[in-house]
Structure 1
Amino acid sequence: MDMKLEVVVLPVSDVDRAKQFYTERLGFRLDADFPVQDGYRVVQVTPPGSGCSVILGDGVSQARPGTLHGLHLIVTDIEQARKELAGNGVEVSEPFQDVTGIFHHPGDADRVPGLHPERASYGSFASFEDPDGNQWFLQEVTERAPGR
């Protein structure tokens, strides 16, 4: 049986501010905005090229705004992605790799400044936060690992 991740629920404090950030600054597609009733509003946005959408809104999550860390946007050129996001007013970290060379530690721990020396697929990252402090990572993937 296939199981596909298609929606991630993102806790935000101000739905309109978050909607603007994700659609105007990140370029996510606005799929839906349902103001169902007072205290319950569902907004769905989708990153360009992604099969997984993000739902944010009022009354859609019990998590505190700003507590979701570790979401990844996969890009084929991390430098170009950083340039585009920065051009849209997003504060993006400089590229980094992890000291282990495998993935990355949470937060800023064990970051090595700069792109992966061989620009190895899966090896270079950058990070940014939305207005609530939810943390996202850009990860450069140019060649998929076998079976992916």
Structure 2
Amino acid sequence: MSDMKLEVLVLPVSDVDRAKEFYENLNFRMDIDYVGDDGFRVVQLTPPGSECSIIIGKGVSAAEPGSVQGLHLVVFDIEATRAELVDRGVDVGEIFHDAGGVFHRPGSEGRVPGADPERGSYASFAAFSDPDGNGWVLQEIKERAPGR
């Protein structure tokens, strides 16, 4: 099968400039800020080290602002990344792992405080939201599963 690369996620926001400032504060690279004559606006930003970008704007989504949940940013060191984001003024929740030991559930169900005791890849998380409530999760991966 041909390669299929996920390269863009569209996030619904209510205030494009506020969202743009938030993501630039996270050190997302600003790729495009296009404004059309009719008020249409596309802002594309890319997280550091990522090949997948986000698009925010006006007229780019019919979804309710803040309705996108469960977006994951994979990091090598969750403690250092969380500390850096907190230093940048982002309200990042405490680090947690799932009671079942695999993947977190929505909301706070099954969350156990602290990083995974064995510090296994894919098992430690911390959550935050953008100003509209779009939900993000940091996920620590130090070693990829075979074949990835």
TM-score, normalising length from structure 2? 0.98
Q: What is residue 3 of structure 1 aligned with on the other side?
A: 4
Q: What is residue 31 of structure 2 aligned with on the other side?
A: 31
Q: Which amino acid aligns with 1:133?
A: G
> 2: CA distance between counterparts of 1:140 and 1:69?
18
Q: What is residue 90 of structure 2 aligned with on the other side?
A: 90
Runs of at least 5 residues in structure 1 that lack an aligned partner in the other structure: none
Q: Which amino acid aligns with 1:147?
A: G
Q: Secondary structure at the match of 1:37?
A: coil
How much does 1:39 deviate?
Answer: 3.3
Runs of at least 5 residues in structure 2 that lack an aligned partner in the other structure: none
> 2: CA distance between counterparts of 1:134 and 1:36?
25
Q: What is residue 74 of structure 2 aligned with on the other side?
A: 74
Matches within 5 A, 1:1-148: 1-24=2-25, 26-148=26-148
Q: Give the ranges of 4+ consecutive aligned residues of structure 1 lying more than 3 Å apart after TM superposition.
A: none
How much does 1:32 deviate?
Answer: 0.3
> 2: CA distance between counterparts of 1:39 and 1:70?
29
Q: What whole-Å deviation, never above 9, does each CA across 1:69-99 have from its counterpart, x for those lacking one? A: 0000000000000010000000001100011
How much does 1:102 deviate?
Answer: 1.0
> 2: CA distance between counterparts of 1:19 and 1:108?
28
Please provide the CA RMSD for this pair: 0.7
TM-score, normalising length from structure 1? 0.98
Q: Secondary structure at the match of 2:83?
A: helix
Aligned residues: 147
Q: Which amino acid aligns with 1:2?
A: D
